[in-house]
Amino acid sequence: MSIRPGQRLIQGLLGWAALAILPLVARVGLPELAAPALLAWAALGLAGALWALDDLRRLRARPTPAAERRLPAALAVGVAHTVTLLFDSRRAPPGEQWLVADHHPPDDPLTGLPRALAPAAGHDRTEVRYRYRPTRRGTVRFGDIELWLPSPRGLWQQRRRVTAQRQVPVYPDFSPIARAALAVDKSRGRFGARVQPRRGEGLEFHELRDYQAGDSPRRIDWKASARRQRLITRHYQDEQNQSVWVLLDGGRRMALPIGDLTAFDHGLNAALLLAWSALRQGDRAGAMLFSAETPRWLDPVHGPNGIQSLLKGFYDVHPADRASDFSQAARHFHGRWRRRALVVIISRVQAEDSDDLLAAVRLLSRRHLVMVADMELPEQAALRHARVESVDDALRVTADAHEQQQRRALHARLRHAGAQLVAATPNTLAERLAQAYQKLKQAGRL
């Protein structure tokens, strides 16, 4: 426990040092008073030292106030969360001030700590609140709570630490995903629009019910109507319990910062929205991370609560310094999952991926319906509408046009190989991908 002099002690030492001039003055003007003045100055220093040592002794004997930290069980990346520090202030003298700090993760320097705290007189506890905003998914560590206590006379300060170490998971921020899901629901016409059921591939029987105005006569079940002596219609729903798999690229290309997130974070958000959409439709959703330091395989989950399993399985992964290997990922998935599924590959597709990605699509298409989600950089999308005002602008637009031509050619080859294509900027990829899934679902393609 560190000890440092307080402001009062420093001021006292400066005053005592200033008084040292008196014996010198007396030695020049009044020699007979020089010895008594020096003796008085030394006695004053000794008395001050004893007074300060007694104050230090009393500070050392003072117990450390109890303290605890309260924070959510899980945090969301990019979201400011309130952290509360509670201190036992029952024995704090009136008018005393503490200096409080918390060993929170170092990725947020704007918490406002350390902070002066005046313990509330007459209250059992005094609290300090601050806002912590994590900037990276994974697990963050909170250390001990630290405070500097003043001595009774204010001559010293001693650092005390209260053990409060804790690790908290930081998950992706699900609020943008939920907003995107709401936009997908609106696009499907769920708010006020009536969805007409159809019979055919991709539908399964749902229920028998009484005929209602507007029901198609072709849906009347004549046998059930004869038994019940009233018109009964058959109703169908999209086939459920199908499998949707997300193959998320964890290679170095996904480490590119795009806004406040990386391309991998945008891809992860799109994967989570797609999985949540599938779970809400009664399908199963699984995920595989490829080209990462440690590939991950998350078995399919079912039901709306299954999204928590996917969050826990992917919250702490980050892109590795490795090249993206699509064909290896396809072989791994093809060997482990044999039932037909919708397989969605999420990555930043590049022209040099042509042979590797086409081989992966052809292999997966033998058994599955394949979709490739290609993330386009916002800068590339903006160049298509940029004004050319200089030679540099012309060169930049020309180079991008050539790259876009190669990209479109690759997209055409992927479609020819049987893949569905979704190309969008990171901010719209999640919504576009969920909408593409809904269209396949409604068309009975799964």
Long-range contacts of 72-76 (CB under 8 A, 24+ apart): 72/168, 73/168, 74/168, 74/169, 74/170, 74/171, 75/132, 75/134, 75/140, 75/168, 75/169, 75/170, 75/171, 76/134, 76/170, 76/171, 76/172, 76/173, 76/174, 76/175
CATH code that applies to domain 243-442: 3.40.50.410
Cα distance between residue 335 and residue 127, in whole Å: 56
Enumerate the CATH 3.40.50.410 domain ranges in the chain, comma separated. Answer: 243-442
The mean pLDDT value for 376-388 works out to 71
Q: For position 194, what pLDDT does the model report?
A: 39
Q: Is the pLDDT of residue 393 over 50?
A: yes
Q: Is the pLDDT of residue 388 over 80?
A: no
Q: For position 275, what pLDDT does the model report?
A: 93
What average pLDDT does the chain have? Answer: 87
CATH architecture of 1-171: Sandwich (2.60)
386 — pLDDT class (breaks 50, 70, 90): low
Q: For position 398, what pLDDT does the model report?
A: 66
The mean pLDDT value for 338-359 works out to 94
